[in-house]
Amino acid sequence: MNTKTKEWKDGVLSTIMRDMNRCQGKYKQSHKYKWVVLDGDVDPEWIESLNTVMDDNKVLTLVSQERIPLTPSMRLLLEVSNLRNATPATVSRGGVLFINESDIGWGPYVATWLTKFKQRGDEFAENTFILSMSHYINESFLNEMRQKESIAPICEMQHIISMITIINYLYDDLHSNKETVEFLKKIKEEGQPLPYDEAIKMIYEGFFVFGLIWSFGAPLTEAKGSFNGLLRALASRVKFPEGGYVYDYYFDVMKLNWSPWSEKVKAYDASYDGLFANLIVPSAETCRQKFLIDVNRVTRRGVIYVGFAGTGKTTIIKDYFNSVDKETTVTSSMSLNSYTDSASLQKVIESNVEKRMGRLYGPPSGKTLMFFMDDLNMPKLDKYGTQSPICLIRQLIDYQLVFDRDHLEEKKTIADVMFLGCMNPKSGSFIIDPRLTRHFTLVGLGVPDKEICNTIYVQILASHLRNFDKAYDSFAAKLVSATQKLFFDMSTNP
């Protein structure tokens, strides 16, 4: 109801319930049950309107004085993460079913995933992953991980889904990449350097451990050292090289062993003549994060980077956007702030998609829209501790739809959109709905270590010194090392 003009405008719920009551649109008289599922946060101000619906009256009374009775076939279901904002009058009118995180757990999800390999007839993959699950992700490991502090709240199911996402990508790439397919064929024929049975089991276990690193280990910051020791102790068949952290390596199928990410780092482009602030020097960190984003892009799972200012969160995303294939991917960015609401976010998203057919919208056909949200935790909390932009993003991920703001009875299906985000735990509300973050692979970023800083600044300085005599070429590493030592001494002993 418009408070000034007193003009009534139907909302989403009243439109749906009226159509159900009158059997209009897609609702038929022959339907045995018609379900209204309210999935999201409970707001005491609008939930009070449902009190007469949920009690013995079973009538929705609108401000316009219209009364919509519930027919025997109509059902109402509220799916919420908590009831902290619900009044006793509301809770007492419905049956409450509490589902704990451990009631169902991630076991059925893993069992369903393993049937994929059984259906493909790949017994090696099925058996190796079953043994790896029991060896690595046992109760002792889970208890150890529960004691480690993550940079943001994360549930075990989110860990498992992120791990399986990575393993699926590596598995599919192994059996579709021409080079690796030829390599496996050669091993099967020659039995070198290992018999095929041993080699394929080692590869699958390497994939599993790599997925473990970037699912259970990715959200850690201070506990990365202890996680490194824990995983090195567990990885008996696929042992890590000495030195560095487990994060510094990827499993190289062609070598049947771990290789450092530093081997994949591309050379610095010394011909860059843009703004220094936009300069990006390739390093092991940017290389592995690009790979991780690529994995999630193919599988359409989002990525959230969490870290303090200066850790390179936004830089990593923008660097990836500069290198994507423009024929298959469309990119867009939006910086969120305390004034961002769901309506403004919806406008930006809709401006990046086009109408395909009917009520189906999306990027140009055959392309994926990668939508980056910077400062995801910045939107202001409303009166009841919720954030409307966060709820809209979750709705898009869960149901791929939004409601037309001008005609709320119409839905728009938005397809082929993938979300990425960044958060700073020291700014904003930092209260993000776990029901949203569970759809993302969560990665914690810390201050770059000494080796990565050396890689960046030595290449920049060496490029500059090439304009002088050759005698100065060797000064780059020494000057960077001396500057780092001076900075460390000043910061520790001011």
pLDDT in tens, 170-229: 999 999 999 999 999 999 888 878 899 999 999 999 999 999 999 999 999 889 999 999
Residues 361 and 376 in one domain: yes
Residues 126 and 183 in one domain: yes
At residue 261, the pLDDT reads: 94
Band of residue 73 on the pLDDT scale cut at 50, 70, 90: very high
At residue 291, the pLDDT reads: 95
Residues 79 and 216 in one domain: no
Residues 303 and 416 in one domain: yes
Q: Which one-letter amino acid corresponds to residue 202?
A: M
Domain-embedded: residue 5? no
Maximum average pLDDT range among 163-172, 301-310, 403-412:
163-172
Compute how many other C-beta atoms are within 10 angstroms of the C-beta atom of residue 163: 27
Cα separation of 469 and 118, whole Å? 65
Cα separation of 382 and 375, whole Å? 17
Check if the beta carbon of residue 352 is closer than 8 Å to that of residue 363: yes
At residue 428, the pLDDT reads: 62
- 197 versus 311: the higher-pLDDT residue is 197
Residues 329 and 401 in one domain: yes
At residue 430, the pLDDT reads: 64
Mean pLDDT of 220-245: 91
- Name the one residue in this structure whose structure tokens are 């990575």: 166
Band of residue 406 on the pLDDT scale cut at 50, 70, 90: confident
Band of residue 309 on the pLDDT scale cut at 50, 70, 90: confident
3-state secondary structure of 223: coil
Mean pLDDT of 414-431: 84
Check if the beta carbon of residue 171 is closer than 8 Å to that of residue 124: no
pTM here?
A: 0.89
Q: Where is the domain boundary, 428, 444, 460?
A: 444
14 has a pLDDT exceeding 80: yes
Average pLDDT over the chain, rounded to whole? 89
CATH of the domain at 369: 3.40.50.300
CATH of the domain at 259: 1.10.472.130
Which of 82-96, 128-142, 265-279, 306-320 has the least mean pLDDT? Answer: 265-279
Mean pLDDT of 60-85: 88
Range of the domain at 481: 450-492
At residue 106, the pLDDT reads: 93
At residue 82, the pLDDT reads: 84
Domain count, the chain: 4
Domain-embedded: residue 273? no
For 356-376, what is each residue's pLDDT tens digit?
998 999 999 989 999 999 999
Q: Where is the domain boundary, 74, 98, 122?
A: 98
At residue 135, the pLDDT reads: 94
At residue 431, the pLDDT reads: 65
